[in-house]
Every structure is written in C-alpha cells, then in structure tokens.
C-alpha cells in the first residue's frame, strides 16, 4: 500500500491543470539612497579631535577619518593650542 501511494505521489504533477499556482510573494522594497553626508569642513581653519586632543589643518587627511561627533573647529592654531590640543604629526598646524 505504501509503495502504491508513493508511486502515485511521485508521478502526479505538483499543480494539475486547472488549479492555480500559489501567488508569488511581493518583491522586497527597493533600497533607498543613503542620507546625504554632512558637509565637509571649510578648507581654511583648524579642526580638533575631542577624543585624541589633536589639532589638524582643515584639509588634513585625518580630518576625513574623524567621526563628526569628535570634530571641534578652531579659527586659529593658537586657539587650539590654548584649548590643550597638540599638533598633528602629518599636517603640522603649529
């Protein structure tokens, strides 16, 4: 009996004619574009990193790597030095 049932199930079409196929699931929603990045700091002035207490020229490559939450801007290198920031070894702001 089991062999007969198995033979019938193996030969029977999965969806006989006249029956509807199950509906396809909806496509996943399209990905939205990422939010616009924060504007880059001006090419003049000085930027400090709150975490490391290091001051950089605004166009230093290290500024691009900094988290926005750690960035502090200074009008002059003297202001950064007064605030206790040390000079970056790459861009040497002071």
Lowest-pLDDT choice from 1-5, 16-20, 73-77: 16-20
Residue 79 lies in a domain: yes
Q: Is residue 63 part of a domain?
A: yes
Report the mean per-residue pLDDT for the chain: 76
User: What is the domain extent for residue 63?
Assistant: 43-94
Q: Half-sphere exposure (CA, 13 Å, Cβ side) for 32?
A: 3
Domain contains 7: no
Q: Which residue has the higher pLDDT, 36 or 73?
A: 73
The answer to whether residue 73 is domain-embedded is yes
Tell me, yes or no, whether 29 lies in a domain.
Answer: no
Q: Is residue 91 part of a domain?
A: yes
Give the pLDDT confidence score for residue 42 in this predicted structure: 47
The answer to whether position 1 is within a domain reads no
Q: What's the total number of domains in the chain?
A: 1
**What distances in angstroms separate CA 24 from CA 13, 19, 55, 69, 70, one per listed residue?**
19, 15, 57, 45, 48
Q: Within a domain: residue 11?
A: no
Specify whether the CB–CB gap between 46 and 83 falls below 8 A.
no
- pTM (two decimals): 0.49
Segment 42-86, tens digit of pLDDT: 445 888 888 899 988 888 888 888 888 888 888 888 888 888 999
Look up the CATH number of the domain holding residue 79. Answer: 3.40.10.10
**Contact (CB, 8 A) for 62 and 91:** yes
């Amino acid at each position: 009996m089991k062999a007969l049932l198995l033979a019938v199930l193996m030969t029977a079409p999965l969806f006989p004619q006249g029956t509807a196929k199950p509906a396809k699931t909806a496509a996943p929603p399209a990905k939205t574009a990422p939010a616009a990045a924060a504007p880059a700091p001006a090419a003049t002035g000085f930027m400090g990193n709150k975490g490391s207490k290091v001051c950089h020229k605004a166009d230093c490559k290290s500024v691009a790597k900094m988290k926005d939450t750690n960035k502090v801007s200074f009008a002059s290198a003297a202001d950064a030095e007064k605030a206790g920031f040390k000079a970056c070894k790459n861009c040497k702001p002071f």
